Amino acid sequence: MSQQEVQRYDGTDFPWSKEVERHFKDSFHLSQFRPLQLRAINLTMAGRDLFLVMPTGRGKSLCYQLPAACSHGFTLVVTPLVSLMEDQIMYLKSTDVPAVMLNAFSTKVTT
pLDDT digits (tens, 9 = 90+) for 1-59: 788 787 889 999 999 999 999 999 998 999 999 999 999 999 999 999 888 888 888 88
Q: At what angle do helices 60-70 and 37-45 cross, to 10 degrees?
A: 40
Length of the chain: 111
How many CB atoms are located within 10 Å of the residue 26 CB? 12
Q: Catalytic site residue 60?
A: yes
The answer to whether residue 111 scores a pLDDT higher than 60 is no
Catalytic residue among 18, 60, 93, 108: 60
pLDDT class for 89, splitting at 50, 70, 90?
confident
39-76 CB burial, b ≥16 within 10 A, e <16: bbbbbbbeeeeeeeeeeeeebbbbbbbbbbbbeeeeee
